[in-house]
Structure 1
Amino acid sequence: MSARQRGRGRGDRRRPRNRAAQGDSLVGQRLTLDIEDVAQGGHCVARHDGRVVFVRHSLPGERVVAEVTDGGTGSRFLRADAVEILTASPERRPSPCVYAGPGLCGGCDWQHTSARFGRELKTRVVREQLQRLAGIEWDGEVEAVPGDEEGQRWRTRVEFAATPRGRIGLRRHRSHDVVPVDDCLITVPEIAATGLLGEVVETGVTGVDVAVDSAGEVVAIDLPIRRSSSGGGSAAEDAAHRDPVPNVTETVHVAGRGDRDFAVSARGFWQVHPGAASTFVTEVLDRLRPQPGERVLDLYSGVGVFTAFLADAVGTDGRVLGLEGDARAVQDGQGNLAGLPQASLQRADIGRDGWQSAIDDGLDTVDLVVLDPPRTGAGREVIGEITARQPRAIAYVACDPAALARDLSYAADAGYGVTSLRAFDAFPMTHHVECIAILSRVGES
């Protein structure tokens, strides 16, 4: 699980839009719309005067009054919020969160329906993306992950923002504006119990990053992080000045393989659903079935979660090489692999010039590959490099079904087909979904 900032509210930078090309603004105009099916991104599709409208806070089959939030007379599509429900879906429910709705917090997409139906909506999205982009007909379903309460109280890491007056809150959808909140229903109870969300932070603090580890310990870090210069103290004190963000300990349990603890930065990447890490490691190990003596490549390895469990499986006669681009994650990961001489974790900017040499230096052959790339996916070059080494199987852990489908099509061009694909609801009440695809050479099981 890599040290990217996936699922933490720090999305890719948006390209600036050409306002002139949008024509006269339609923002604020109200449209009566018939909602069609769900689309990727936490909204549903409607049409108005031959133009697609992406409507949040709606459900398939509804008739709504929607207020345009983005777009103009020259736009190819519009964005809108459903502000009045004329004909409700049977799956609609009153939102249990008072901060979910038009113009409010942008963190959740589906508080107005059940976690069960949220998984159905995600299932439709995964199926559509796989079929359209990779020609794959998938008949699976998005599965629940153990550890939430009907889609609530699961998030163990969250970055809160602060208003100019110091109130803690969350950002509006597609906005830097902050909505003050007294609770967030998808966060674990330990976060609400801190009382942080009712406090006013000191001047100059723009937000607070909160992490709750596997033991329930809470770490809260004021943002921006202020690194003071070394005061000439002990080595430990100097190190604290250089990097004031502490580590926390996360435990991963895999049935039949025991528990492992992992040190990870409180601001580093970790799966935010408490059941996700164990679920994903179990799925990868069960499907790949690593054998003693095999050579394994773990790309975007983060702090070495897959690396460590794979090293256990291949034994001291095997070899596991983890590659990760984040320096702090590599440092933590190397410590996490102590006692596993058959495993190593190195820093490499995967997909950039020279990263392939790290593989050549670390492995004489590649039997298995695990990759867990950022939301943008691995891309053609990385998929080509992996498949050229002819591993017997590849496990692809993906947080974006469109990027996954694109990369699966690249793998198919190289002679690798999907033998298993499961999808997991690791981010309930949001549109995000995690998929794990297992690939092998066509004609081999």
Structure 2
Amino acid sequence: MTRRPTRQRQARGASRVGERFEAVVGPVAHGGHCVVRLEPPEARVVFVRHAIPGERVVLEITEGTEGDRFWRGDAVEVLEASPDRVEAPCPYAGPGKCGGCDFQHVALPRQRELKTAVVREQLSRLARIDSDVEVEPVPGDQDGLRWRTRQRYVTLSGGGRAMRKHRSNDLVAIDDCLIESPEPSDHQALGRRFEVAADGFWQVHPGAPDVLVTTVLEMLRPQPGERCLDLYAGVGLFAAFLREAVGESGRVVAVEGDAAASRLSARNAPGVVVQAGDVGKVLASAFDEPFDLVVLDPPREGAKRAVVEQVVDRAPRAVAYVACDPAALARDVAIFAESGYRVAEIRAFDLFPMTHHVECVALLTR
């Protein structure tokens, strides 16, 4: 699992990198870290990785200068451990090592509790929604390991492979990544095979396609003759099943920004009207008609206001929003609320064990 290079920021005073502090770990935060509030004279918030709420740790600053509002750090020594702390199964997980996994030091049930807390906090803070959603396990991994069916490595000059450290271009040589699946994806959902480009997008957890399609269909309850709009449709995963549900008298339109994926969706979902192009631009100029149902499955940054407003303009009776970032979901849900759409149901799935990532599906209705 690779990470984008850290954007260089202008220094705001003397560096505090390498300094150590003893502190009690506060609540989990979005992004795979916990919040620590250092006491005066520092009086600074530090986002700390490799910790668990309630622990007393020694943390080392990894990013931060005298003038920054907050710092980043790693828990490098645990003075009072949480009962949920376990030894990381992977030798490459931990401070200063591979940046791919955030929670290998946390027992799997507690990982899901931490993710649940993050999803609820984001919904409450950004969308003013008090939710009792809980992150659910999904079949297809081995106690949180061996689930990632597509993995990318950096090839080392002398042979071998490597991963990047957290928020860094520095490399860590890797012999065996424990979240990588021994088997590639079969690109199937509910027994139906889909054609996917070699470098194309497909859910990386083996259980994801089945659980996401089932959840979306159960939430939307498409009826024969209804009109459906599948946005960010990929290779037609949702569109294919929506087409079956609405039948010959219905209509399904699939819009996807990636031209290659869009071409494949036409093959994977016969009978679906397929349109390649930026979702916002397509909706601004085409398919300006009422739709009964909409599926939104945007990239990590979410759909954003322009697309949400275009969806609302089609006046669907229900929208299923599939999101891999709870913050983006909560922001967009708040925009839907401005037009009278409310969250009727929400579920969250642990499709990325050992990491902070979580997949949510929200049902919005008028």
Q: What residue is the counterpart of 1:359 in the other structure?
A: 287
The answer as to 2:273 corresponding to 1:344 is: yes
Q: State whether residues 163 and 178 of structure 1, in contact with CA within 8 Å, keep that contact through their aligned partners in structure 2.
A: no
Q: Which residue, out of 391, 396, 405, partners 2:330?
A: 405
- Cα displacement (A) at 1:10: 5.4
Q: Which residue, out of 269, 275, 281, partners 2:213?
A: 281
Point out 4+ residue stretches in structure 1 off by more than 4 angstroms.
none
For the structure 1 residues 164 and 66, does the alpha-carbon distance in structure 2 shift closer, same or farther, using more than 3 Å as the test? farther
Q: State whether residues 348 and 358 of structure 1, in contact with CA within 8 Å, keep that contact through their aligned partners in structure 2.
A: no
| Paired residues, number | 363
SS of residue in 1 equivalent to 2:37:
strand
Q: State whether residues 348 and 355 of structure 1, in contact with CA within 8 Å, keep that contact through their aligned partners in structure 2.
A: no
Q: What residue is the counterpart of 2:70 in the other structure?
A: 77
- What is the 5 A alignment of 1:4-403? 9=2, 11=4, 15-19=7-11, 21=12, 23-48=13-38, 49-190=42-183, 212-214=184-186, 250-253=187-190, 259-337=191-269, 340-341=270-271, 343-352=272-281, 354-360=282-288, 364-403=289-328
- Cα displacement (A) at 1:40: 0.5
Structure 1: which amino acid aligns with 2:337? A
Q: Give the fraction of aligned pairs with identical amino acids, expressed as a percent.
A: 57
> Which stretch of structure 1 is more off in the superposition, 181-190 or 56-65?
181-190
Q: State whether residues 295 and 319 of structure 1, in contact with CA within 8 Å, keep that contact through their aligned partners in structure 2.
A: yes
- Cα displacement (A) at 1:313: 0.3
Q: Which residue, out of 429, 440, 445, partners 2:354?
A: 429
SS of residue in 1 equivalent to 2:189:
strand
- Cα displacement (A) at 1:162: 2.0
Structure 2: which amino acid aligns with 1:422? R
Query: Aligned equivalents of 2:179 and 2:294: distance in 1?
Result: 33
Q: State whether residues 38 and 59 of structure 1, in contact with CA within 8 Å, keep that contact through their aligned partners in structure 2.
A: yes
SS of residue in 2 equivalent to 1:359:
coil
Q: State whether residues 44 and 54 of structure 1, in contact with CA within 8 Å, keep that contact through their aligned partners in structure 2.
A: yes
SS of residue in 1 equivalent to 2:153:
strand
Alpha carbon RMSD of aligned pairs, Å? 1.3
Structure 2: which amino acid aligns with 1:282? T
Structure 2: which amino acid aligns with 1:178? L
| Cα distance per residue 1:144-197 (max 9 Å; x no partner) | 01111111111100111123333202111111122111111111124xxxxxxx
Query: Aligned equivalents of 1:365 and 1:9: distance in 2?
Result: 41
Q: State whether residues 302 and 330 of structure 1, in contact with CA within 8 Å, keep that contact through their aligned partners in structure 2.
A: yes
Q: State whether residues 27 and 70 of structure 1, in contact with CA within 8 Å, keep that contact through their aligned partners in structure 2.
A: yes
| Cα distance per residue 1:112-137 (max 9 Å; x no partner) | 01221110000000010000111100
Q: State whether residues 58 and 77 of structure 2, in contact with CA within 8 Å, keep that contact through their aligned partners in structure 1.
A: yes
When the two structures are superposed, what TM-score results if normalisation uses the length of structure 2? 0.96
Query: Aligned equivalents of 2:219 and 2:141: distance in 1?
Result: 25
- Cα displacement (A) at 1:16: 3.7
Structure with the greater alpha carbon radius of gyration: 1
Q: State whether residues 162 and 178 of structure 1, in contact with CA within 8 Å, keep that contact through their aligned partners in structure 2.
A: no
- Cα displacement (A) at 1:14: 5.6
SS of residue in 2 equivalent to 1:159:
coil
Q: What residue is the counterpart of 1:208 in the other structure?
A: none
- Flag structure 2 segments of 5+ consecutive residues without an equivalent: none
Q: State whether residues 292 and 317 of structure 1, in contact with CA within 8 Å, keep that contact through their aligned partners in structure 2.
A: yes
- Cα displacement (A) at 1:15: 4.7
Q: State whether residues 200 and 261 of structure 2, in contact with CA within 8 Å, keep that contact through their aligned partners in structure 1.
A: yes
SS of residue in 2 equivalent to 1:403:
helix
- Cα displacement (A) at 1:287: 0.9
For the structure 1 residues 33 and 73, does the alpha-carbon distance in structure 2 shift closer, same or farther, using more than 3 Å as the test? same
